[in-house]
Chains A and B, each alone.
Chain A
Amino acid sequence: DAGVIQSPRHEVTEMGQEVTLRCKPISGHNSLFWYRQTMMRGLELLIYFNNNVPIDDSGMPEDRFSAKMPNASFSTLKIQPSEPRDSAVYFCASSFGQGANEKLFFGSGTQLSVL
């Protein structure tokens, strides 16, 4: 398996533009997680899905952020409109289940820069 695949690897955009980050989880995994990492705040959980259903989105910073999982093999994280403070590395992760005994597998991340 190729692992968790995220695209794009790098995104540079201007303030006010819409940004869409994409994630393909490992085949057969039914839990998917979106994290954000900054120097100031470290790794933060934004939202996670189980069987394509959002379970907890309390980490989503504000209404400008939205995430979808239309099927088991694809998820998007959208920021509209983007702001400079959204600049961060965004990681997607997947696991076979959401139990405490499960391992998470992370993608390589999307480095987002909002100018």
Chain B
Amino acid sequence: DAKTTQPNSMESNEEEPVHLPCNHSTISGTDYIHWYRQLPSQGPEYVIHGLTSNVNNRMASLAIAEDRKSSTLILHRATLRDAAVYYCILRSGNTPLVFGKGTRLSVIA
């Protein structure tokens, strides 16, 4: 699997936007970029995914660089309930999700 690199931790103020970066310089043309998050004491939860174009859903937006070597998960207005570990994962073909260490997001009231 192609690897991703994420900061270990980030901090945000409540009600402000959060940009979570992910580098994936060895991404292949068939790799989808997936984001999952894991709230404390819960299982991972799907957030968003995309291939080439930017994506929006009710939870977040995904901005994908033109060369696809990096992407950014955008939470438009962080709340205390968004405090979690966020995982950026590449997936292609029929390969399963392989989790890295992710970014631990803290939200300050």
**A70 is an interface residue with CB less than 8 A from chain B:** no
Residues from chain A with a CB closer than 8 A to the CB of B49 are: 101, 103
Interface size on B, residues (CB 8 A): 22
C-alpha gap A109/B44 in the complex (Å): 10
Given A99-B94, A100-B31, decide whether A108 and B44 contact each other with a Cβ distance below 8 A: no
Return the contact of B42 from the options A42, A98, A104, A108 (Cβ within 8 A): A108
**A56 is an interface residue with CB less than 8 A from chain B:** yes
Identify which of B10-18, B19-27, B74-82, B97-105 touches chain A: B97-105
Residues from chain A with a CB closer than 8 A to the CB of B91 are: 100
Given A100-B30, A100-B31, A101-B32, decide whether A106 and B45 contact each other with a Cβ distance below 8 A: yes
- Find out whether the CB atom of B96 lies under 8 angstroms from the CB atom of A45: yes
Residue contacts A-B, CB under 8 angstroms, 5 given: A93-B43, A100-B93, A101-B32, A106-B44, A108-B42
5 nearest interchain CB pairs?
A106-B43, A43-B99, A100-B91, A103-B46, A100-B32
**Chain A interface (Cβ < 8 Å from any Cβ of B):** 4, 33, 35, 42-45, 48, 50, 55-56, 91, 93, 98-101, 103-109
